[in-house]
Chain A
């Protein structure tokens, strides 16, 4: 309701940060982060642990103040003023263990300005929708980790926020719940919410996001559409031929490598047509040819560097 009423009032980005810097004692955790999250989009923040994602999100939410730089969230320079229109799932999940599930959701809604009675009603609805109706009056400590995490997520959306910020939301969830969460994110986006989530699992971002920011070493090394990130790499060609030698070899780049009986190389700048013509005319005898678009992971490796990619790989993917 709140979301629909004020949606049209926002023309610019839902969230905008300009040159955010955060220093902790002698450590610079975030170093000049600038980004713009379009209203109504699903926006991913990618990067290994320690890259500065959580600190950036905390600054955007007003939990901590930046050492320098500015931020504007839902049209307000002080994020706490926009708090009733924001939902937040922190990386470190936390609930009062003795609180009932519905009360925990209602409490989080009330914190965001929702009247308690209405919050309780919505909590019951949400718990039913997510198959936790029978757990509504059970204390949090009796719930499984996945259930408790779902309760906290429902607490982040109970007040129907215009902006939902999820810090590593897939962490700790099994495959089934990850799928449910992806669906929930899509549904909230369809309803008009802007969603920002951080993750170190690229597959989630690839499936969900329209735009991403890749953060490494406290800096944004890429910010833009997922397609743009992928387009930074040329398509990959996989070729299997009958002929081992011949004039067609002159069309293959020097960097090509052999994987099994396939030649693998980047599509030359001329595109597929000149390559195909050279192969046919040169008597390659094409048995199989595939042109693959690079994945976001490849783009991430190319953009953030091998070190960041290795750090991501070391973390436990979900």
Chain B
């Protein structure tokens, strides 16, 4: 056993150094920045376009006093809802020829006049490109009514007493925390585990595989490669998590706005790391096994798409179990090894018991071992030609 571990360590050390000390690792670390940069750039462009676009207005032909009442009602309404959702109003003093003024205003493009309202409190009349049952008409009616009420009734003062959450909302918030953790795990695994598809191609193309196969058990090589990439990924993970936490903290002041998971923050964060490792090892071992069959980079590229889809399907299975962690679906997803880490990390946010996590981690480790053994055996059989290949394999190589 000691020799096995020592052999795995030799491979892990070589792979880790080759990965982390390469220039491309910097690109790898910067990887998650690219979606953020793209998001920022396109978000900025979108906002800029939205800001530069003039919003349609309703031209109100009335005395300044009437417009002030109507405008005050609009502002009160805008405080309760999003300002962008409330129609914009612009005042115009009445002209002698009201019909001509209406016509002129409806043809105005700066600002773009959507409709014209005349005599808002005496004999309101709305003309323009609006539907009778549309938002503009209904909002204007509400504003006119509200402006009239304000002048007649005393203003009640609403006293607001905020609470942190109700028990119903806490449960829902924890589900959201679970979903967020699950998605983060899935995203990282999708990003990192898929890289393992190409891990053995280097040895095969360099022909060094034979030196390794003669010196150590193939299982040890697989385990070494898995843990090398896990270590490299953990470096990335720590960096990204620290940067993310710093960013959130700088934007919000602290991280306490997130709902507290059922197992508590320290245990939850620990479990996130453990389940990330488990999820990575499970998918990594599977991808290493599949990728080891490839002889060229082209074959690896062909394999990567179905591998990604398989991950998405398993994520979908795990995600469907989040809402009810004790349902038969959730339990079967927790037992199925490849979805188990994703389901259990969400459970850690929703349920306070720790023992299911201990059992789950043991179960997942067992499967990592089984997949590695299977992968090594398959590798020896098909790649090192140490045994007969199945018919399916020969057909696939035609």
Listed in ascending order, the chain A residues whose CB lies under 8 Å from chain B are: 23-25, 58, 61-65, 80, 83-84, 86, 88, 90, 92-99, 107-108, 110-113, 116, 152, 155
Contacts and interface: CB of A to CB of B under 8 A. Distances in A.
Interface string B197-237: 00000110011111111111100000000000000000000
Nearest to A60: B214
Interface in B4-23: 6-7, 10, 13-14, 18, 22
B154 to A, nearest CB: 82
Given A64-B385, A94-B209, A95-B208, A107 B214 contact: no
B103 interface: no
B3 A113 contact: yes
Contacts of A80: 216-217
A116 B6 CA distance: 11
Interface stretch (B31-39, B131-139, B335-343, B387-395): B387-395
A94 B7 contact: no
A65 B211 CA distance: 16
Contacts of A97: 206
Contacts of B208: 94-96
Nearest to A81: B3
Interface string B361-398: 00000000000000000001000111111000010000
B206 A96 contact: yes
A80 B202 CA distance: 23
Contact of A63 (B6, B207, B384, B394): B384
A61 B206 contact: no
Q: Which of B10, B214, B385 has the most chain A CB within a 10 Å cutoff?
A: B214
30 contacts: A23-B388, A25-B389, A62-B214, A63-B210, A64-B384, A64-B386, A80-B217, A88-B210, A88-B215, A90-B207, A90-B210, A90-B214, A92-B207, A94-B206, A94-B207, A94-B209, A94-B211, A95-B206, A95-B208, A97-B206, A107-B10, A108-B215, A111-B10, A111-B211, A111-B215, A112-B215, A113-B3, A116-B10, A152-B211, A155-B211
Q: Which of B22, B202, B210, B385 has the most chain A CB within a 10 Å cutoff?
A: B210
B6 to A, nearest CB: 7
A86 B214 contact: yes
Interface of B: 3, 6-7, 10, 13-14, 18, 22, 202-203, 206-217, 380, 384-389, 394
3 closest Cβ pairs, A-B complex: A94-B207, A94-B208, A64-B386
Contacts of A110: 10
Contact of B211 (A24, A84, A88): A88
A89 to B, nearest CB: 8
A99 B206 CA distance: 12
Given A63-B386, A64-B384, A94 B210 contact: yes
Given A64-B386, A113-B6, A88 B214 contact: yes
A61 B386 CA distance: 12
Contacts of A84: 3
A65 B217 CA distance: 13
Contacts of A92: 207, 210
A111 B216 contact: yes
A24 B18 CA distance: 35
A13 B18 CA distance: 41
A93 B389 CA distance: 25
A50 B150 CA distance: 101
A235 B347 CA distance: 87
A111 B22 CA distance: 22
Nearest to B391: A25
B389 A63 contact: no
A98 B18 contact: yes
Contacts of A108: 211, 215
Contacts of A98: 18, 22
A61 B14 CA distance: 23
A23 B387 CA distance: 8
Nearest to A66: B386
Q: Which of B212, B217, B386 has the most chain A CB within a 10 Å cutoff?
A: B386
Nearest to B14: A107
Contacts of B380: 64-65
B387 A90 contact: no
Contacts of A88: 210-211, 214-215
A159 B67 CA distance: 95
Given A24-B385, A93-B207, 17 more contacts: A25-B394, A58-B210, A61-B214, A63-B210, A63-B386, A83-B215, A84-B3, A88-B214, A90-B210, A94-B203, A94-B209, A95-B206, A95-B208, A96-B206, A108-B215, A110-B10, A155-B211
Nearest to B6: A113
A100 to B, nearest CB: 11
Nearest to B388: A25
B11 to A, nearest CB: 8
Q: Which of A94, A96, A111 has the most chain B CB within a 10 Å cutoff?
A: A111
A88 B207 CA distance: 13
A152 B208 CA distance: 10
A65 B207 contact: no
A62 B202 CA distance: 22
Given A23-B388, A64-B385, A96-B206, A111 B3 contact: no
Contacts of A113: 3, 6
A63 B10 contact: no
